[in-house]
Amino acid sequence: MIFRLASEPIELQEWLFLGIFLLSFLLQMVFYLGIFLRFYLHKPGKERGQSKEKALSVIICARNEKENLERFLPRVLLQDYPEFEVVVVNDSSTDGSEELLQEMSQQYGHLRFTSIPPSEKLARSKKLALTIGIKSAKYEWVVLTDADCYPATEKWLYHMASGLSDQKHIVLGYGAYEKRKGILNGLIRYETVFTAMQYFSWAIRGKPYMGVGRNLAYKRELFFESKGFAGHYHIPSGDDDLFVNENANAANTEVIYDREAHTISPPKSTVHAWIRQKRRHISAGKLYRKGSRFRLAGEWSSRILLYISFLLLSTGGPFFYAALIPFAIWMVTRLLIFQLSASRLGEKQLFLPSLLFDPVMPFILGAIWLSILFESKYQTWS
């Protein structure tokens, strides 16, 4: 029923839908205007880049990544930075990666590698390989990336190092995905920008909660003082976001989002592979600090409830026009702030796709989260 006579009573459930809608609307506006807008408005501190350039150890873990090492490792080795080494941990590879690394180490004097032999008895996660790499690093400051990533420019290390100082022991960077054709690629890039908008904004707000292992830097001393990955070694995921969640705070964390500081990765090419990747990431979320879980759940649930309650109010109830204006205000606000964030990260052609992806993404992530609840065995990192 599209229209209702003025004399017809308003049912209790319609008041309930309106209440849920208005509460969700207010929460979403707080998130966007109070938190997410901070990323676009943020200005780097004056102290960034003023400290002496620090020697860096770049740590890369690789399991059967010979093809990616051939393509991408030279881009890391050829960084325009005065003093750095690259440590590759060859984690039980059987594809000839070790032979390739032997050849490349003869060509590049600042490349070192170590190999973990295959084992049929032990199921090992990426965290063991990372721990070995960090322990073997010559320098106090480590920069982490993946074998299937490459720096956007030759100034990647310069920009990441600019955030490190005696006070800032963790630097959160941005890991982009290559732009390709197809809906899946658009969905992956949209979700990557939205996630970055969140973790950069919360870090700027003084509540850092995650980083991405494709582009992350911290002090070795911090790693060993916090006992590395000991608190979550029992799950294969979380080597990046859980470490940051446990150790980052307003005083020791810096954000570096300059376009020259990005890393870029080839995106997953199938829905199954992308969902598998997201399952690993989401499975680590249950170990976040309570405050982080509360804030993330608040944004996710309020967005879902806003869409659902608006749809329910749009079925011909008396509050449709009362809800239409706030919903339009929120949509304009959301689109504008997302576009400003995407523009700051150099991400293009996501404005119109976000009209489709934003309504479906919280439901997709919710479905993945629910599936994890009914599964006791986690995926490996490979």
- For residues 67 and 151, membership in a common domain is answered with yes
Distance CA 156, CA 263 (A): 8
- Residue 251's pLDDT is what? 95
Statement: residue 28 has pLDDT above 90: yes
Q: How many domains does the chain have?
A: 2
| Least confident span in 124-133, 305-314, 373-382 | 373-382
Structure tokens at 352: 């119109």
- For residues 36 and 63, membership in a common domain is answered with no
Distance CA 367, CA 361 (A): 10
This prediction's pTM:
0.91
- For residues 78 and 145, membership in a common domain is answered with yes
Q: Check if the beta carbon of residue 369 is closer than 8 Å to that of residue 304.
A: no
Statement: residue 35 has pLDDT above 80: yes
Residue 305 is assigned to a structural domain of this protein? yes
Residue 6 is assigned to a structural domain of this protein? no
Distance CA 319, CA 120 (A): 63
Residue 46 is assigned to a structural domain of this protein? no
pLDDT confidence bin for 122, thresholds 50/70/90:
low
Q: State the CB neighbour count (10 A cutoff) for residue 103.
A: 9
- Residue 234's pLDDT is what? 81
- For residues 62 and 137, membership in a common domain is answered with yes
Name the residue range of residue 313's domain: 12-41+292-369
pLDDT confidence bin for 258, thresholds 50/70/90:
very high
Rounded to a whole number of angstroms, the CA Rg of the chain reads 23
Is the Cα dihedral 129, 134, 138, 141 positive or negative? positive
- Residue 7's pLDDT is what? 44
CATH number of the structural domain spanning residue 205 = 3.90.550.10
Q: Check if the beta carbon of residue 56 is closer than 8 Å to that of residue 79.
A: no
Q: Check if the beta carbon of residue 265 is closer than 8 Å to that of residue 175.
A: yes
Residue 321 is assigned to a structural domain of this protein? yes
pLDDT in tens, 302-341: 999 999 999 999 886 678 888 999 999 999 999 999 999 9
- Which residues, 6+ apart, have CB-to-CB distance to 118 below 8 Å? 92, 94
